[in-house]
Amino acid sequence: MEKLKKHWGIDSNWQILVILVVFAVTGSSSAKLAGPLVEFIGIHKENSHWLIYWSLRLLLIFPIYQVLLVSFGWLFGQFQFFWTFEKKMLSRLGMAKLLRL
Protein backbone atom coordinates (compact mmCIF):
# COMPACT_ATOMS: atom_id res chain seq x y z
CA MET A 1 0.00 0.00 0.00
CA GLU A 2 2.80 2.39 0.80
CA LYS A 3 4.26 1.97 -2.67
CA LEU A 4 0.89 2.76 -4.25
CA LYS A 5 0.38 5.79 -2.03
CA LYS A 6 3.81 7.09 -2.95
CA HIS A 7 3.29 6.45 -6.67
CA TRP A 8 -0.09 8.23 -6.68
CA GLY A 9 1.05 10.96 -4.32
CA ILE A 10 -1.67 10.39 -1.75
CA ASP A 11 -1.58 10.24 2.02
CA SER A 12 -4.12 7.80 3.42
CA ASN A 13 -5.49 4.32 2.95
CA TRP A 14 -8.96 5.89 2.92
CA GLN A 15 -8.00 7.84 -0.20
CA ILE A 16 -6.84 4.63 -1.89
CA LEU A 17 -10.19 3.00 -1.12
CA VAL A 18 -12.10 5.96 -2.54
CA ILE A 19 -9.95 6.03 -5.68
CA LEU A 20 -10.38 2.30 -6.28
CA VAL A 21 -14.15 2.63 -5.78
CA VAL A 22 -14.24 5.47 -8.32
CA PHE A 23 -12.32 3.36 -10.86
CA ALA A 24 -14.73 0.44 -10.32
CA VAL A 25 -17.89 2.54 -10.53
CA THR A 26 -16.62 4.39 -13.60
CA GLY A 27 -15.71 1.22 -15.49
CA SER A 28 -19.01 -0.47 -14.75
CA SER A 29 -21.04 2.64 -15.54
CA SER A 30 -19.32 3.36 -18.83
CA ALA A 31 -19.78 -0.22 -20.02
CA LYS A 32 -23.44 -0.11 -18.97
CA LEU A 33 -24.14 3.26 -20.63
CA ALA A 34 -22.53 2.33 -23.95
CA GLY A 35 -25.28 -0.21 -24.75
CA PRO A 36 -28.23 2.18 -24.70
CA LEU A 37 -26.16 4.84 -26.48
CA VAL A 38 -25.39 2.47 -29.37
CA GLU A 39 -29.08 1.63 -29.63
CA PHE A 40 -29.98 5.33 -29.50
CA ILE A 41 -27.68 5.86 -32.50
CA GLY A 42 -29.72 3.20 -34.31
CA ILE A 43 -27.41 0.19 -34.17
CA HIS A 44 -29.31 -2.68 -32.59
CA LYS A 45 -27.80 -5.98 -31.54
CA GLU A 46 -30.60 -7.98 -33.15
CA ASN A 47 -30.43 -6.48 -36.65
CA SER A 48 -26.80 -5.37 -37.01
CA HIS A 49 -23.68 -7.34 -37.70
CA TRP A 50 -22.07 -8.33 -34.42
CA LEU A 51 -18.73 -6.82 -35.41
CA ILE A 52 -20.26 -3.40 -36.09
CA TYR A 53 -22.35 -3.44 -32.91
CA TRP A 54 -19.52 -4.48 -30.57
CA SER A 55 -16.88 -2.31 -32.26
CA LEU A 56 -19.04 0.77 -31.92
CA ARG A 57 -19.95 -0.09 -28.36
CA LEU A 58 -16.28 -0.51 -27.39
CA LEU A 59 -15.34 2.74 -29.14
CA LEU A 60 -18.04 4.59 -27.21
CA ILE A 61 -16.86 3.26 -23.87
CA PHE A 62 -13.62 5.27 -24.09
CA PRO A 63 -15.10 8.81 -24.21
CA ILE A 64 -17.85 7.87 -21.75
CA TYR A 65 -15.19 6.57 -19.37
CA GLN A 66 -13.15 9.78 -19.62
CA VAL A 67 -16.11 11.99 -18.73
CA LEU A 68 -17.38 9.72 -15.96
CA LEU A 69 -13.95 9.31 -14.39
CA VAL A 70 -13.58 13.02 -13.73
CA SER A 71 -17.26 13.35 -12.78
CA PHE A 72 -17.21 10.52 -10.25
CA GLY A 73 -13.86 11.74 -9.00
CA TRP A 74 -15.45 15.11 -8.31
CA LEU A 75 -18.46 13.51 -6.60
CA PHE A 76 -16.18 11.48 -4.34
CA GLY A 77 -13.99 14.48 -3.51
CA GLN A 78 -10.98 13.38 -5.54
CA PHE A 79 -11.26 15.70 -8.53
CA GLN A 80 -7.63 16.83 -8.49
CA PHE A 81 -6.30 13.27 -8.47
CA PHE A 82 -8.51 12.19 -11.37
CA TRP A 83 -7.98 15.37 -13.38
CA THR A 84 -4.21 14.83 -13.14
CA PHE A 85 -4.68 11.13 -13.99
CA GLU A 86 -6.87 12.06 -16.98
CA LYS A 87 -4.35 14.57 -18.36
CA LYS A 88 -1.54 12.05 -18.03
CA MET A 89 -3.54 9.28 -19.71
CA LEU A 90 -4.68 11.43 -22.66
CA SER A 91 -1.19 12.79 -23.08
CA ARG A 92 0.23 9.27 -23.29
CA LEU A 93 -2.38 8.42 -25.92
CA GLY A 94 -1.31 11.43 -27.97
CA MET A 95 -4.50 13.36 -27.28
CA ALA A 96 -3.00 16.23 -25.29
CA LYS A 97 -4.61 18.75 -27.66
CA LEU A 98 -8.02 17.75 -26.25
CA LEU A 99 -6.97 19.18 -22.91
CA ARG A 100 -6.23 22.62 -24.35
CA LEU A 101 -9.81 23.35 -25.44
For the chain, the three-class secondary structure string (H helix, E strand, C coil) is CHHHHHHHCCCCHHHHHHHHHHHHHHHHHHHHHHHHHHHHHCCCCCCCCHHHHHHHHHHHHHHHHHHHHHHHHHHCCCHHHHHHHHHHHHHHCCCHHHHHC
Domain boundaries, the chain: 2-100
98 pLDDT band, cuts 50/70/90, is: low
Whether the per-residue pLDDT at 35 is higher than 80: the answer is: yes
Q: Calculate the average pLDDT of the chain.
A: 89
Give per-residue pLDDT as tens, 37-83. 999 998 888 888 999 999 999 999 999 999 999 999 999 999 999 99
Burial of 26 (0-12, 13-18, 19+ CB in 10 A): buried
